Each structure stands twice: as C-alpha cells, then as structure tokens.
Structure 1
Amino acid sequence: MSCICQRPGQMDIRRGVVGLATGAGAVYLLYKAIKAGIKCQPPFCSASPICIARECPRPGERAWPQEVPIPQVSGVGGAQGDSSTFLSCLAIERERHGRDSGELRRLLNSLECKQDAYTKSMILHSITRCVYLLESEASTCTNDDITLVGSMLDDKDNSVKIQALNTLKAFSGIRKFRLKIQEHAIKVLELISTIWDSELHIAGLRLLNNFPLPDFVHPQLRRVMPALMEILQSDYILAQVQAIRLLSTLAQKNDLLYDILNCHVHSNFLNLFQSTQPGSLLFEVLVFAERLSEGRSSPHYRAVKWHYNEQSLHEALFGDDSRLADRLLALVIHPEEDVQIQACKVIVSLQCPQDVGIRPSCPPSHSCFNNGE
C-alpha cells in the first residue's frame, strides 16, 4: 500500500525533471540559434546601396556569386580594406548630417596624379564604393569626372580597366551621367571582344546592361557579335548570364536580329538548354530563345527571304535538324517554376507567329511541335 501511495509523488518528480530538461534544452537551442545568427547574418538588404558596394570586388579579387560569401582579406590588403571601410563610414555619417565629406572629390583628384596600377585600382574601387554610398556627393560630380574615369579604360593593366568599368557602372545609376557614359560604349565593346578575361567580361557586360545602347554603336555590335556568342558558350556562369542578357536585348532590334541568328555557334550549343544548367542561366537562355522566335516570326522579318549558314544560331535553334523541341519538353518539368513557365512560353512562340491576332488561325509552320507532338 505504501508503494502505491508513493507512485504519484515519484511521477510528479519525474515530470518535473523531464520538464526542466526539456526547458533547458529549448533554451540551449535558442541560444545556439541566436549565436549562429550573429555570426552569419544573411544579406537582408542585398538591393541596398551598401550591399551593392560590398559586392564590388577589390583589385585582385574575383567576382563571387551572391550565394558565396566573399572571403576576408588579410595582411596589407586587409588593412587597406579596413581603412577604406572606416573612411566610407565617416563619409556616410557626415552626409547623413547634411555635410559634404569631400571624400569622393579627394579620390577623383588623386586619380589625376601619376600612380602605379595597384594604386589606381584601389582608388577606383574606393570611388565606386563612394558613388553607391554617397549619392548626394556623387550627383555633384561633372562630366569631366566621367571622362577621367573613362580614360582609365586605356590603361595597360587589366585590373585598372575592370575597376574603371565598375566605377562607370556605379555612375550610370545617376541619370544625368548616362549620355556621357554611353560615349564609352564602343570602347567597352572593343575591350570585351579583344581581351579574354572573365572578370573584364562581367564588368563590361554589367555596364552595357545598365543603360540602353544608342543606335550609333550598332555597327560595332555587329563586329563583336561572334565574341558575345563565344562568351555565352564559355564555362563561366556569371559572364554567360550577362552576355545572354545583352543578346536578349539586342534580339529586339530589327537591324540586329539577322546578325544574331546568322552568328556561328558550336555544335553543342543546345547544351545550354540542358536541365543540369543552373536555373538562373536556363531562364535567361529561354528568354533569349523566346525573343528570337518572336522576332523571326514578325511580319517585318518574314518579309525578307534570309539565308543562314549551316552552323548558325538559327539552324541550331530553328533548323530542320534542331533538337530544341526535346530540350524544351524536358524543361517543362524542371524543378524551378520560372524555368517551367519560360519553357512553355518558348513552345507557344514556336507554334504561332507573332501576328496570329490578325489571322483566323495559325498557319502551318516548320515547328517541331506540329503533327500532334
């Protein structure tokens, strides 16, 4: 009987111990979560000017995808970086109180002096950060400052060219400088087509994708089209994405569409449509294919009988022996919804010409999806 009386007490003790252990475990897990969050904060403001400035690679660094954290720089480079960050913070604080820090003007003035390649690269990198972070000071700059930065594109050192391209891109976010920066478009296209450097390709293409290209650069675009197509077929995803974005924009220009479609491509070009490709690249490639399909189906383009070489982009995508249809059907079940939707859009654009609205029905075409497929 005594044993029976003791059981409720023992059960209460056990419940208390279990509750205490559970509570302690929960507190410990919460502590671990907070500690991990402090050590590794996600980029909540990836679109903010500060985050954009942090993404700009320093001289000697490679451009890293947004998913990959930029490694810390130690030694002399780290000291330079810490100093630059400290000065930027001071400049931001002064601007917040309505005072011109003068930091951007000092950097531009120092760029005019004779400097070695590394120093020029560091100055340009700091200017880029200041343009993103100190918008009011950047707006007070002049076209002469843009010309000064543009002159760095003629430097012999590639790292200086890359940093100058990054700086021009930063300034291109300010509307009043866009016309002046457009004057350097031909030079940027020349650099992209004559120097095989992935970092330079990324910096140059990002700049070109940041503003509408004027008509006077179209002749130069025709000359560099093979180089753009080679970058697209390279193995460096960041450069590929930037190249395909530019080509997608150019595909909407009537006077450039044939030059794109007749451009020589590798025999394995359709590998870009494989489901194993990164989703970001696949999506851009599908947008490119849709715009090409719409362009070649437009009444303006179909009014002329065009001839294409056997190894052209047109034959790879829309030729009688093209396997594009198989690739598109495989992408309809891709894990990423954006890719699925874009693949369906390409299929629809291949089925019917763009002027279907003024016709009673879609006429027969050479699409691989006809005949019940």
Structure 2
Amino acid sequence: MAPQCLDSSWPESPPGLVDGKFGHLPAQEGARRRLTSRPQALVGECMKEQCGDVQLEPQECPEEVVEGLQPGAFKNNYFFNFQILTDGDLPKSTDSLDANHLQKLIQLLESTDDPLIQEQILVTLSNSAAFSDNQDIIRNLDGLSVIGKMVSDSIPKVKEKALNALNNLSMNVKNQEELKEYIVHVCREIESSPLDSELQLAGLRLLTNMSVTNNYHPMMTHSIPYFFHLLSEGNERTQIQVLKVLVNLSANPAMTRHLLGSQAPSLLSLFDNCINKDVLLRALVFVTNLNKNMKNARGAIIQDQYNEDSIFSVLFGDSTQYAQKLASLLHHPDTEVKEQVIKIITQQ
C-alpha cells in the first residue's frame, strides 16, 4: 500500500472525474493521471484534487471560482484610462475568454506599471485559469513567464495575485514543467512574508499543487525546516496549508530522511482532541506516511543520525508521550481521526 495523500471530494464532479474521500488513492500516480487537461469550470466550492491536496484556489473569494470579471476591474473602456481594450473586446464571463482576449490581457499586464491594473488583470487571468483550455492557451501565449515576473514585484498584493494565478495554472502537467523554475523563489517569498499573511498562504497553495508529484520535491528540501516553523507558529489556516505540503512530501520515500531530520519538538502538541480536525487529521496522515516509509526502508534509517529534537526522536525515540497522545486520540469523536490513529498504532 502506497503512502497516502489527503484529498477532498469534488463539490460536483465534471464528466469523467471521480469523487473521493480521505486517504485511499495511490499517492503520486493518482495525482499524475489527474493533472491533465480536463473540464474545470465550477462555480461554488473550490475545486480540489483527489490526491495530495491539490486544489484550485480562486481569487478574491476563497471558496468559489468567480463567474465573470471582478467588480470594478474595468472603467473607461476597461482598465481605467487604457484604451487597448474596448467595451466590445471582452465577454462578461471568464469562461468565454478566448485566445485573443487572453493575449490582450497578457500584453497589458506586461506593459503596465500600475499595480491596481496589474492586480485586476491577474485576478481575471486567475479566474480564467479555472478552465483547462485556458491553462494551455495562457502557456502558449508565454503568459506563465509574464505572470511569473510579477512574483518578484515589490508590492505584496501584486505578488499575492500572481501566486494565486500561477496556482490555478499549475493544475496542468505541461504548465508545471515551466513553473518549476519559480519554486525556489516562492519558497523564499514564503519565508520572508509576514506570518499568516495572504501572501504567505498564496505561496503555500502553489507549493501544494507543485508537490503533488515527486518531480519537484528536491527543490523544496531547504525550506522543510521553515515549514515546521510555520506549523509551530502559524494560525490554523497556515497550519492546514503547510500540512498539505508536508503530507505531499511525506508521500515520497526519498524525502523521508529530510523530514525525519527536521526539528519539530512541538509536533506532538497537535495530537490533541481539542485541535482543529483539519489540522489533526493531516498531521496524523503525515505521520502515517513516515511510518510506512520507515518500514519500507528496512533498517536503512539509523537512529544515531538524528538529534533529540528531530521528528525521528519525537516519533520513534523512547518517548512515552507520543504513545499516550495516540491512546487519547482513540477517544476522539470523529471517526476519520480514530481510523487514522488505528492505522498508526497497527504500523508500529
């Protein structure tokens, strides 16, 4: 049985897609099959992949893909005093944007220095990227590099909108191949952003999508210690998002040593009945994956390699606190939590 990924069921499955629930799919191969061109036009709850917590994170309204252009995005023949686009140039809904419309938006994004205009274009491109055909069109128009440059902008709001757009565009294998060049920079942005900020969350969302397969995990290795810092210091939103990345990394056996060697003395504080279920369940899946990888390593992982504050020592050392925490969680009111705890206990 492969290490598991957390997944959420689709709000409504487009034709050909399969509903799913927590932790029953092969980790990387399942994600690889689904990271392909497919219908993605949903209004309502965010679209989320079945494996690896891949999610499509729309702009401006965290729980829905906006149908239509953002309110106030266009004034005086669109985008304030810019005359490049006329009233008849753009349709009312982002699902009706064709290659010509998208090209004009990308050209305007590249030519303007006005941050308000940049934000509005990025919002529109992000929403249009909810549709798989547009993901390919934007890539073919060199839109990925134009949007990617915005990640280096000095204005946090522009960076955030650019990261959200790249996040939606990353729901595509070919796009991911081009977007990989931004991973290290995104990791730096996450580390330098204010704790729990929207900018930091936008960066983590993009890493969540980029970590659904093993291909780009090595590029995130140096940020693993900071991920655990966020897990310790961040609020619940940050904890959930960074755990999505950590769960994806833990599904890759090649990342096990890097994860086990990280210092996370506060990890066990998450194993508590009063912790938010979304945080707790992901923390348990993370540990389940590490347990599975440890068993498969068959003694190749040596205890002397890790210090007393490492995840290895916390989970696999001579601590009784860990066992006590697991025993207490057997009385958790949620069935999924109890099932995950039982998996961990039976792995030992």
Tell me if TM exceeds 0.5. Answer: yes
- SS of the residue corresponding to residue 112 of structure 2 reads coil
Deviations 1:128-182 (A, max 9, x none): 012215x434432316211111111111112211111111111112333221112
Q: Counterparts of 1:137 and 1:90 in 2: how far apart (Å)?
A: 16
1:196-275 correspondence to structure 2 within 5 Å: 196-198=194-196, 199-211=198-210, 212=212, 218=218, 220-266=219-265, 268-275=266-273
Alignment root-mean-square deviation, CA: 3.4
Q: Which amino acid aligns with 2:296?
A: S
Matched, 1:50 2:43: yes
Matched, 1:107 2:98: no
1:289-328 correspondence to structure 2 within 5 Å: 289-302=287-300, 304=302, 306-328=304-326
1:94–1:120 CA distance, 2 compared to 1 (3 A): closer
- SS of the residue corresponding to residue 122 of structure 1 reads helix
Aligned residues of 2:94 and 2:127 also touching (Cα < 8 A): no
Aligned residues of 1:316 and 1:322 also touching (Cα < 8 A): no
- SS of the residue corresponding to residue 316 of structure 1 reads helix
Q: Which amino acid aligns with 1:164?
A: A
Q: Which amino acid aligns with 2:163?
A: L
- SS of the residue corresponding to residue 132 of structure 1 reads coil
The partner residue of 1:153 within 108, 128, 151 is 151
Aligned residues of 1:185 and 1:217 also touching (Cα < 8 A): no
- SS of the residue corresponding to residue 151 of structure 2 reads helix
1:322–1:191 CA distance, 2 compared to 1 (3 A): farther
Q: Find the structure with the greater CA-based Rg.
A: 1
1:261–1:88 CA distance, 2 compared to 1 (3 A): farther
1:1-373 correspondence to structure 2 within 5 Å: 49-51=42-44, 52=46, 56-58=58-60, 66=63, 79-80=72-73, 90-91=92-93, 94=96, 100=98, 102-133=100-131, 135-141=132-138, 142=140, 144-198=142-196, 199-211=198-210, 212=212, 218=218, 220-266=219-265, 268-302=266-300, 304=302, 306-350=304-348
The Cα shift of 1:79 comes to 3.5
The Cα shift of 1:311 comes to 1.5
The Cα shift of 1:116 comes to 2.5
The Cα shift of 1:234 comes to 2.6
Deviations 1:287-333 (A, max 9, x none): 01111122223335536454211211222222212411122122222
Q: Which amino acid aligns with 1:241?
A: I
Deviations 1:21-59 (A, max 9, x none): xxxxxxxxxxxxxxxxxxxxxx9759853334996343x
Q: Counterparts of 1:157 and 1:254 in 2: how far apart (Å)?
A: 38
1:242–1:92 CA distance, 2 compared to 1 (3 A): closer
1:223–1:303 CA distance, 2 compared to 1 (3 A): closer
Q: Which amino acid aligns with 1:248?
A: V
What residue is the counterpart of 1:365 in the other structure?
Answer: none
Q: Counterparts of 2:186 and 2:230 in 1: how far apart (Å)?
A: 15
Q: Which amino acid aligns with 1:115?
A: D
Q: Percent identity?
A: 23
Q: Counterparts of 2:313 and 2:303 in 1: how far apart (Å)?
A: 15
Aligned residues of 1:111 and 1:123 also touching (Cα < 8 A): yes
Structure with bigger RCO (C-alpha 8 Å, 6+ apart): 2
Q: Counterparts of 2:120 and 2:96 in 1: how far apart (Å)?
A: 22
- SS of the residue corresponding to residue 184 of structure 1 reads helix
The Cα shift of 1:339 comes to 0.8
Q: Counterparts of 2:334 and 2:91 in 1: how far apart (Å)?
A: 40
- Higher helix proportion (structure 1 or 2): 1
- SS of the residue corresponding to residue 248 of structure 2 reads helix
1:207–1:316 CA distance, 2 compared to 1 (3 A): same
Q: Counterparts of 1:292 and 1:247 in 2: how far apart (Å)?
A: 11
1:297–1:55 CA distance, 2 compared to 1 (3 A): closer
What residue is the counterpart of 1:14 in the other structure?
Answer: none
Q: Counterparts of 1:216 and 1:101 in 2: how far apart (Å)?
A: 29
Deviations 1:96-115 (A, max 9, x none): xxxx3743222211101132
Aligned residues of 1:290 and 1:345 also touching (Cα < 8 A): yes
- SS of the residue corresponding to residue 209 of structure 1 reads helix
The Cα shift of 1:245 comes to 2.1
Q: Counterparts of 2:244 and 2:95 in 1: how far apart (Å)?
A: 37
The Cα shift of 1:282 comes to 1.0
